[in-house]
Structure formats: structure tokens, C-alpha cells
Structure 1
Amino acid sequence: MKKLSAAIAAGLLCTLAHAAAPDADTKLRAIYTSEWEWRQTQRLEDEEDDTNGIRATLPRIDAATQLERRRRWEAVLAQLDGIDEKGLSASERINYAVYRAQVAALVQNQHFREYEKPLNADSAFWTNMAYETRKTFLTKDDYANYIAQLNDVPRYFRDQVVNMRAGLARGFTPPRVTLTGRDASLAKVVNAKPVDTAFYEPFKSMPSAIPAAEQERLRAAVVTAIATKVIPAHAQLLAFMRDEYMPRATPTLAAHSLPDGPAYYQSKIVEYTTTTLTADEIHAIGLQEMAKIRAEMGQVMAQVKFQGDLPAFLHFLRTDAQFYAKTPEELLMRAAWIAKKFDGKADQYFGRLPRSRFAIVPVPPEQAPYYTSGRGGPGVYLVNTYNLPARALYSLPALTLHESAPGHAFQMPVALEQTGRPAFRNAYISAYGEGWALYAERLGTEMGIYDTPYEVFGMLSYQAWRASRLVVDTGIHAKGWTREQALRYLMENTALSEHEVATEVDRYISWPGQALSYYLGEMAIVDARRKAEAALGTKFDIRAFHDTVLELGSVPLPVLAARIDRFIAEGGKGPY
């Protein structure tokens, strides 16, 4: 009887747990649905609109709004902590993990007043405005809204300056060295005619459905907005940057030297890696991984029968003309050719392909001198054609796999095309997204994308580039490294050009923690795959594995690991 009673009790507990799930699920859905609807009204600057809509105003960013956001997210976090995760269904448990990490990061950003530092060496709020021009303008309302948005630029810039002054007063700025030359993008707008600015771009070719007279009226209105609002606002901001902000920006490099620096840097580690690793632990991982990659580099050098050491080989790669495009068009065409090579292999490695396609376009000239080699996302693969002697062709296959397909311009649309998923799941988690894109570079060896040993070395150089970030980012922000130490480490361990090394190091200096996400994310995916291959043996299907990873969308790394454990338990069955 006792055994029977125990069995009945166990069954009853199981039933109650399953019965409780809907209540817990309903409670969680109510929390994230309400907050997400509110969040859309806030228009956070580091989150893309979930539609193609063109808004009539720019975001509110004043101190009162920022305080309101902090209080709202702290309250949401308290609500989430009141939910019993074990009472959630499997799908909502994933939603909970993603959402809680997301809100916790938002709370930390408000706590440290990240909005008082709205720029880094790579980008700034004024250059980010150009992304709006890449949206699809279909109706006269789209154009009218955009003109209204341009008329809102003076208010938006004034509020940014108020926030930046507050950051300046407490020593919370990007390091001064990383701001050198970053005023050039402002000066370019100030010194341009309205029709020559990026803001006029959507008006050069307008839909035929809009009557010609209406087109002319809209063009006249946007020229007026640019001339009377946008350009003067840029001029005032330029004066502020040159006369006040740049000269008084913090001279130190380390995040540890900022207000409450060690806690601030650890919050960035948690945000960008979704782990609780410390700076010391990450630094050690980086050194270990760099040693492995250097051994692989030595194998390639032996394969091409290079007579000399690694520094000599790196010098050869950086200076031999055979490895560099002669024109921007050549670089763009080579990128397109590599992307099409992937298309011919895609169905062998992925069961589900995104419907969305992507364009290959050059980085805008006003951003190019300080921009990365390339960047990809839904609908676009940006290739930097500035300073061609810095854009090695042997690295282009790895770059293309990372930024286009099966990297960012592939992974993001796969996630966005999922149905039945709450909208907050479309937010980008760097450890997952960058980890996947770096994994895509390694995957290129299996797919046969790399045609020559030099292209394989380019891939290894890119792997070393990301592994070295674990060393350099923690070195700069927690261990007192100088800029010169960081530059030297990258020059000695990668084939990146001197120009790329300089722009990259300045990015790490001004954007603490973000650089840590890539290699740690890739390691998590590689570890998950090895575990699945070992457990499933002949049942392992690479397409099912990739579909399972991509179907999740951006998730914290522990969530990814748990999902692959379930993938193994289910016999390697894919999600479709």
C-alpha cells in the first residue's frame, strides 16, 4: 500500500505540475506582453523596429525618460523573480530565460547610465540615423513621416548633448584616443548640400504610385528640413564635440577606471557573453585558444612551403599585391562570388533556408574610415571598400561566411521568420549571434568554400582575431594594458592589416565586453556539436543540428546547451 500510495502521490504531483504550467505560462506572458508593448513606445536606440515602419519622431532620451525606464524594468525583474520556472511549459521556460537575461541587461545599462555615453569608436547616434534611409519607402506617408523625423533632429541632438555632458562631468566617456577623427562624419554633413547628404537618398527615386507633383512637394520639404534642421543641428554638435567633449574625454582606457568600473565591466561581460565568467578566466581561455590556433597556422605555412617564421609570413600576406583587389568593384564582386558558392552547398548543411535574400553594398563613405571590414544582417551584407590595401582577399571568404550566409544575413532572417514566438525573442544576443557567425567561418572548411591554403589561413587569422579579443579586451579593461600592447598583440597573432588592427583595438577600448562574445559563443556551439556527434553516432544529422540551433533564435548560451541536450535525448530529430 505504501508503494502504491507513493506512486499515486508522485503521479498527482506530476499532474499538478502540468496543471500549474498554464497558470505560470499565463502569468509570464502577461508580464512580457505588457512590457514589450510599452517598450515599443520607448523606441530604444539599440533595438531595431520590428516592422519596416518609418516613424515621425526620434526616440525620447532625456533623463526623466531614462529614470522611468529604469523603474519599469526593475519592477518587471521583481515580477519575473516571483515566477516558479519549474511551473512553466518547455517553450515558456526558454522564453523566461531569454527574457529575464534581456531585462536584467536593460536594468544594468540604466543603473550605469549607459545612455550618457551614446557613441564608441565604431559608431555613434548621428551615424546610426543613416540606417533609416535603408528602409523601404512605399507611400507618401512614409516620406512625410521621415521628413517629420528630420525636423525632430535638433531636439534629439540637444538631448544627446545634455546626456553626454552629464557623462563628461562624472568621467563616463569613451577614451579620448578612440574619438580622434570621429568628428569627420559630422563635418561631412555640415559641409554638404542637402541633396548630397545620406538623408536625401530615399528621395532620389520615389515610387511611381506617388503623383509627380506630390513627389516634387516632398522633395522640396525634405531639402528644407535638411537645410534648416539637420545641417544646423550637426553644426552645433560638431562644435560641442570639437570644443568640449573630445578635449575633455577620459584619458584612461580601462572600463575598470570608469565610475564603479569593476562592477560595470562585469555587467558588460554578463551582457555580452551570457555567462558568469570573470575577466581573469576569460583571459586564460584566450591564451589557451591562441596557442591552438597558432599551431594550425604553422601547418598551413608548411603546406605552402613558406621559408620563414610567422612574423615573416604575416608580413608577406600584408604586403604582396596578389592578395588585394585593385578596385572597389573587384572586392564587391569577389564577395558576391563567394556568397554564391555557399548557395550551391546550402541544402547539404541546412534543412530550412530563409526566404529573405540580401544585397551586397559598400559601407557608406562617411563611416568607412573607422568601420569594420564588413557587417551583415537581414537584407544586407556591407563590404568596406575603403583603403583596399587593408582588405585582404584571402580573408574575404571568412568575412563573407560570417556577415552574409550562413552567418548574420542568414541566421537573423531564419529567426525572424519563425512564427508563434513573442516579439522580444527577435532581440539580438551577441554571444549567440556572433558565436554562430564565427562558427560559420569554421564550417566553411567542411563546405569546401576555401579554395587555397591562403584562404584557410585567412580563416585561421580570423579565428585568432576573435580569440585574441578575449586576451585584449580583458587586458585593456581589467589588467592595465596600454593601447600599444593591444595593437602589438593583434599584429603578432593575426594577418589583419595595420589599419584594421587600429580600428579594431579602438573599438574594443570604447566598447567594453562586446568583443568577448564571439569566440565564447563559437566555443559553446562547437562543444554542443561535439557532444551531439559523440552521443548520436551515425544518427547525427548535420542539417538537423544546424536547424535546431538556428530555430532557437538568439538565446543565452546555457539555453542553447540545454536545447542540444534535448536534441540528443530525442534522438537527433530536427525541429521541422
Structure 2
Amino acid sequence: MNKSVMALSIALALTTSLTGCTHSSNKSSPVVQAENTRQLEAKKVNEIVEQFFTEMLVLDPLTATEVGVNDYNDRFIAPISKQSIEENIAFEQKYLNRISAIDVNQLSGQDLLSYQVFKRDREVAIAGYEFPEHYIPFNQMYGIHNDFAMLGSGESSQPFNTEKDYRDFMKRAEGFSAYMDSTILSMREGSKKGVVLPKAIIKKLLPQFQTHLVKNIEDSVFYGPVKQLQANTNINTNDKERLARDYSQMIQNVIIPTYQKTLSFLTTEYAPLGSDTVGLSHLPNGKAWYDHMITHHTTLPLTADEIHEFGQQEVARILAEMKKVKQTVGFKGNLAEFFTFLKEDEQFYFSSPEEVIAAYEGVKDKINSRVSQLFEVFPKADYQVKEVEAFRAASSAGASYQAPAPDGSRPGTFYINTFNLKAQPNFIVETLSIHEASPGHHFQASIQQEVESLPKFRKFGNFTVYEEGWALYAESLGKEMGLFTDPYQWYGRLVDEQLRAMRLVVDTGMHAKGWTREQAIDFMTKNSSMADSDIEAEVERYVSIPGQALSYKTGQRAIQQMRESAKKSLGSAFDIKKFHTQILIDGSLPMPILAAKIERWVDAQKVTAKH
């Protein structure tokens, strides 16, 4: 527990103790009765959210493994079917009914936040079942086919320490096979109803399945745990030999055939049926579907038109800032020529993946030495810098972050994609490190897990608009921390922000305004110096996960507005460190709930300042 949270916990404990002493002589007084009512409603909230989380882990054993609950490591999620979907809806409705029976007027503090977040989650989840997302169960960006490979690599959250661990994964592999069979049936049904992946996305999916069809078992990413057996001291030699044989047979007889069967379906049956269009608006009920995705990802009452206009304004503003950098470095050509120079000149690129990783490891200490200027709460967990694994590198984002293991057994991981070195210019090192690691995702995700007072559904919950909004806001703190003194590193910051601004235009353009994939690529090419391959991957990402890319800039703007409002209200009493603590200390929250919480904090600060 960090010092701030510990102090808060002690204060709450003292408050509770004193309250009990004060009223012990008059148990029937209205004050005591009101307090008892408040405590009873708060207790109900915590019971409901804990019961939900416990029951959810049974339904979603992969999440259980991810958060360190290993009771269901041999299980997989239920295959897609009408029955499983109806059971999921009933599960959400049951808990919505229970939380709705709580008297919200009796709640405050963490209990109020938990109520608000939990109720909203259930409502949005139920609304999402109006749209047939199960007809397109995976894509080149996110999908169980890649998640399962990461689990099976031996480098992720699935443990491989004992013989039982290995046997658990063998059993889980059978569940994976059954689930993938159900995706084929679901995609087949979707294609009949006009809900099908675009051809461009199907094309990017095929290599992700092909990579697992190895001739030599030892070349499989799933063979990683077998390679780890030699150094395992928990399993004796005879058991290791038998385990290695059984495990290899599982790869040969279960995993490889599953990937082969799905690949054959995608290639021969599904690909010819793929859509030539890329936007949700072209699908049945597509406009309403996209409106839901905006609500789901941004948590804000925004329309596609509003977001599109905001994006256009930001793109123009950032282009003007880029022109200033061009002038600062003395480049004589126009902005388009400056973009070409930055794309092609070798001084801006690394010569090997090792150089990329070394650069990010090098800037880590530089940033870590400065974060105390703006923060008073820090994660206990450290983070490591790693390359994106080869089996998913071709279609993965340029960088990503994976939270540390909840039990501290694994640090956070800042993944860098070195598949295309031209997509990793050296001028983005500072801004990308701030975003993905400290004080961006690493601060946010690690602190969220480490705050002991959070109920589990919030400790491990996430809202993209909060997480990505925070990370992009964190980038904006670079100059305040004395970074971006090199004009090219500042240009890198502008590159990252421009990417997020272009996303607003392109995502809404494709999903609400009928833009083609080519229009989106052309827009990003004209307004940035990004590598062509990077632009293509980004556009196809927005095709596959509508609305997600809107979260970054809308979240950043919301947090910045909260900061400006708090500073205006508090004046000289405003403390940036305490403001950042308030943003981070309660975990991932929808923007309206976070904004209301910050307003309550500001009001409390005013009262404190008066006294």
C-alpha cells in the first residue's frame, strides 16, 4: 500500500472508531439509525460487487488466470451459442437488478464510486447484446487465437511450475479447440446475415493462424513450457519425460489441428464472402451499433459528428505546431517535404531490434528521475522492456503495455514492436515511453492493482477512455518534467498526438460517414510522417475495433478540463501532485464519474483551505 492510501485507511479506521464511541450510549437516536442505514447499504454494495467478481471468474476462467486466481486454469470460456449468450445476459441482468435496489442516496466515497461504476457496467453490457458481435469473434488486433498463444507460450499469466500446471493447460487446450469450433459456426451464421469481416482484415488474420502450423513441434510457440521443464526443480526427472511426451502430443493432436481447421475455414469458405466495405454503418443496424461503441469506449455523451469535427480541429492545430519544429531545425522545404525527410533519412531510425530496446531502457532512468516533480504516489512494481513476440508482430500495434502480475511475481511489460524498424523512429522514444510506461500506463495500471481498498471488479476493471486518456495526458506532462528539449523529440510528441487526433477523423469517417479504407489511409498520409506500413496497420485497427481509438483524445481532453477547472477553483491552493493522486488513486473510472469525483474533491479542498 502506498503512503497516501495507508494514511487514508488509518484515517477512515479512526473515524469509524470515534463514531462508534460517540454514539454508543444512544443506539436508538436518529443519528445512529441513519448511520446504521448508510453502513447497511454500503455493505450490500460491497457484497454484490464481490459476489459478481467471484461468479464472473467461473464464467471467464481466462480472466481468473490473468488476475492470479488459479482455481480454473484447466477451464476455457463457454463456446459461442444461443444458450451461452442468453446465460451471459441473464447474469448481467441479475446483478443489475440487485445493484438497482440499493439506495444510492445513502452512499459516499468508495461505496458510491463502486455503485456508479458497477451499475453503468451492467447497463452498457446488456445494451451491447443488442448487436451481434459474436458473428465476428476475432480480428487481427484482438482475438482468442492470439490470447491463447500468449498463455501457452509460458511467458504470460498461465503458470507452468508444477505437473498440475502442465496438465491444467492440456485440459484448457481442449476447451480452446471446442471454442474455436463454435467461432466457425458463428461466423458462418454471421455471413448469412450480412455481418462479416472486411476482406482486408481477413487477409491479415491468415498469417496469424498459419504461424502455428509448424512441422517441427519444437518450433511451436506452445513448446515454450516444454523447454522450461529442464530447469524446473519442482518436477522429478521421470515425470518430466512423461510430461514432455504428453504435452508434445497435445500440441500435435489438439492445438495444431485447431489452428489448421480454423485457417482452412477462413481461407476456403469465409474469405470469398468478406466485405468490400469497412465501416459499421454498412452492416445491419450499423449506425446504432457504432453509437453504442462510442458510448462504450468514451463513456461520454458524444456523437460521431462532434468527434469528427473535434478531430479535424486538432489535426490542423498540431500541423501548425509541426511547422514550427520544421522552422526550428532549419529545414528549408515545405511540410510535406519535411515529412519525407523524416521518413527516409537514416539518422532517425535504428539499425537493429536490439538498438530499439536499448534506447527505451536508456530513457527509463531519465524519466523515472523526474516524475517526483509532479507525483506523490508511485507504483511498487517495476516494468521491463520487451520485443513483441514474432507470432503476432506483423499485425500488432507499435507498442503496448501489460500490467504486472497482481502478486508481484512478474513486472509490468512495455512491449515494443520491432517487426518494421521504419515504424519505430528514434524521435518518439521519449513520448512513447511516457505513454506506455511511466507515468502513463505503468503508473495507472500498477497503482490500480496495488490500492488495497478497491473491490476486485475495479482493481482489475478498465475503461479505455480513462486508461488511454491518462496515458495521452501523461505525454502532455513531458515538458513540465524537463523532457522534449530536443526539437525532434518534441516533434515525436506531436507525432503521437497527431496520430490520436487523426484517429478521431478516420474512425468516425469509416464507421459513420462512409469512408473507404483507402480514404482513411490517404488522410493519414497527408497529415503525418508515419511509415506507410504503420498507417495501414492503424487504419485496419480502427476497422476492427470501432470506437476504441476515439478514447485517447476524448479522455485526454476530459482530464485536462478537470485539471483546468480545479486550478481555476482552487487558485494558489491547487496542488498538481494531489490532483494526480486523485486521478489515479481510485482506479479506472468512466469520465463523468471521475469528473464528479474531482468536483467533490475540489469542494473538500476549499473547505480545508478556509480552516
Shift of 1:20: 3.5
In structure 2, the residue matched to 1:456 is 490
Shift of 1:470: 1.1
Letter of the 2:147 counterpart: N
Residue 58 (structure 2) aligned to one of 38, 41, 47: 41
In structure 1, the residue matched to 2:480 is 446
In structure 2, the residue matched to 1:157 is 180
CA–CA distance in 1 between the matches of 2:187 and 2:62? 15
In structure 2, the residue matched to 1:225 is 250
CA–CA distance in 1 between the matches of 2:63 and 2:138? 11
CA–CA distance in 1 between the matches of 2:262 and 2:274? 15
Partner-residue secondary structure (3-state), 1:571: helix
Shift of 1:131: 2.6
1:22-101 matches, within 5 Å, as 22-43=39-60, 49-51=66-68, 53=70, 55-63=73-81, 64-101=83-120
CA–CA distance in 2 between the matches of 1:52 and 1:496? 41
Partner-residue secondary structure (3-state), 1:59: coil
1:140-179 matches, within 5 Å, as 140-179=163-202
Q: Is the 8 A contact 2:308 2:508 kept in 1?
A: yes
Shift of 1:71: 2.0
Shift of 1:335: 1.2
CA–CA distance in 1 between the matches of 2:228 and 2:257? 26
Q: Is the 8 A contact 2:277 2:516 kept in 1?
A: no
In structure 2, the residue matched to 1:278 is 303
Indicate yes or no: 2:138 matched with 1:119: yes
In structure 2, the residue matched to 1:467 is 501
Shift of 1:18: 5.0
CA–CA distance in 1 between the matches of 2:298 and 2:430? 26
CA–CA distance in 2 between the matches of 1:192 and 1:97? 52
Which shows bigger deviation, 70-79 or 440-449? 70-79
CA–CA distance in 2 between the matches of 1:48 and 1:531? 41
- Deviation by residue 1:480-507 (Cα, 9 ceiling, x = unmatched): 1111111111112222211110000001
In structure 2, the residue matched to 1:186 is 209
Q: List gaps (5 residues or longer) in structure 1.
A: 1-11
Partner-residue secondary structure (3-state), 2:478: helix
Letter of the 1:570 counterpart: A
Shift of 1:44: 7.0
CA–CA distance in 1 between the matches of 2:31 and 2:347? 67
In structure 1, the residue matched to 2:572 is 538
Shift of 1:52: 5.6
In structure 2, the residue matched to 1:396 is 429
Which shows bigger deviation, 53-62 or 179-188? 53-62
Residue 554 (structure 2) aligned to one of 514, 520, 524: 520
Letter of the 2:77 counterpart: P
Letter of the 1:318 counterpart: K
CA–CA distance in 1 between the matches of 2:390 and 2:467? 26
Partner-residue secondary structure (3-state), 1:253: coil
Shift of 1:108: 2.6
Letter of the 1:413 counterpart: S
CA–CA distance in 2 between the matches of 1:466 and 1:124? 23
Q: Is the 8 A contact 1:356 1:413 kept in 2?
A: yes
Shift of 1:268: 0.5
1:133-532 matches, within 5 Å, as 133=154, 134-135=156-157, 136-206=159-229, 207-378=232-403, 379-425=412-458, 426-532=460-566
- Identify if the C-alpha distance between structure 1 residues 373 and 397 changes in structure 2 by more than 3 Å, giving closer, same or farther: same
Shift of 1:15: 7.9
CA–CA distance in 2 between the matches of 1:481 and 1:13? 63
TM-score (norm 1): 0.93
- Deviation by residue 1:526-565 (Cα, 9 ceiling, x = unmatched): 1111222222333322222212111121100011112221
CA–CA distance in 1 between the matches of 2:462 and 2:444? 11
Letter of the 1:69 counterpart: N
CA–CA distance in 1 between the matches of 2:546 and 2:240? 45
- Identify if the C-alpha distance between structure 1 residues 229 and 484 changes in structure 2 by more than 3 Å, giving closer, same or farther: same
In structure 1, the residue matched to 2:5 is none
Q: Is the 8 A contact 1:43 1:49 kept in 2?
A: no
CA–CA distance in 2 between the matches of 1:509 and 1:338? 33
Shift of 1:186: 1.1
Partner-residue secondary structure (3-state), 1:180: helix
Letter of the 2:103 counterpart: D
- Identify if the C-alpha distance between structure 1 residues 253 and 40 changes in structure 2 by more than 3 Å, giving closer, same or farther: same
Which shows bigger deviation, 531-540 or 305-314? 531-540
Q: Is the 8 A contact 2:201 2:540 kept in 1?
A: yes
- Deviation by residue 1:195-249 (Cα, 9 ceiling, x = unmatched): 2111121232243232233222222221110011101111111100101122212
1:546-557 matches, within 5 Å, as 546-557=580-591
Letter of the 1:71 counterpart: A
CA–CA distance in 1 between the matches of 2:208 and 2:198? 18
CA–CA distance in 2 between the matches of 1:558 and 1:122? 28
- Deviation by residue 1:62-87 (Cα, 9 ceiling, x = unmatched): 31112111122133324434433222
How many pairs were matched up?
563
CA–CA distance in 2 between the matches of 1:211 and 1:346? 47
Q: Is the 8 A contact 2:61 2:76 kept in 1?
A: no
- Identify if the C-alpha distance between structure 1 residues 192 and 435 changes in structure 2 by more than 3 Å, giving closer, same or farther: farther
CA–CA distance in 2 between the matches of 1:563 and 1:520? 18
CA–CA distance in 2 between the matches of 1:84 and 1:52? 32
Shift of 1:516: 0.6
Shift of 1:13: 9.3
Letter of the 1:21 counterpart: R
CA–CA distance in 1 between the matches of 2:68 and 2:466? 23
Letter of the 1:439 counterpart: Y
CA–CA distance in 2 between the matches of 1:194 and 1:562? 55
Q: Is the 8 A contact 1:465 1:493 kept in 2?
A: no
Q: Is the 8 A contact 1:187 1:235 kept in 2?
A: yes
In structure 1, the residue matched to 2:10 is none
Q: Is the 8 A contact 1:354 1:410 kept in 2?
A: yes
Which shows bigger deviation, 70-79 or 355-364? 70-79
Shift of 1:22: 2.5
CA–CA distance in 2 between the matches of 1:57 and 1:241? 26
Shift of 1:509: 1.0
In structure 1, the residue matched to 2:9 is none
In structure 2, the residue matched to 1:7 is none
Root mean square deviation of aligned Cα: 2.2
CA–CA distance in 1 between the matches of 2:485 and 2:271? 46
Letter of the 1:522 counterpart: Q
- Deviation by residue 1:446-484 (Cα, 9 ceiling, x = unmatched): 222324111111111110110111111111101111111
- Identify if the C-alpha distance between structure 1 residues 486 and 557 changes in structure 2 by more than 3 Å, giving closer, same or farther: same
CA–CA distance in 1 between the matches of 2:309 and 2:34? 43
TM-score (norm 2): 0.88
Q: Is the 8 A contact 1:323 1:394 kept in 2?
A: yes
CA–CA distance in 1 between the matches of 2:95 and 2:166? 37
CA–CA distance in 1 between the matches of 2:61 and 2:291? 23
Shift of 1:46: 7.5
Letter of the 1:146 counterpart: F
In structure 2, the residue matched to 1:107 is 126
Q: Is the 8 A contact 1:273 1:431 kept in 2?
A: yes
Q: Is the 8 A contact 1:171 1:249 kept in 2?
A: no
Q: List gaps (5 residues or longer) in structure 2.
A: 1-28, 404-411
Shift of 1:429: 0.6
Partner-residue secondary structure (3-state), 1:367: helix
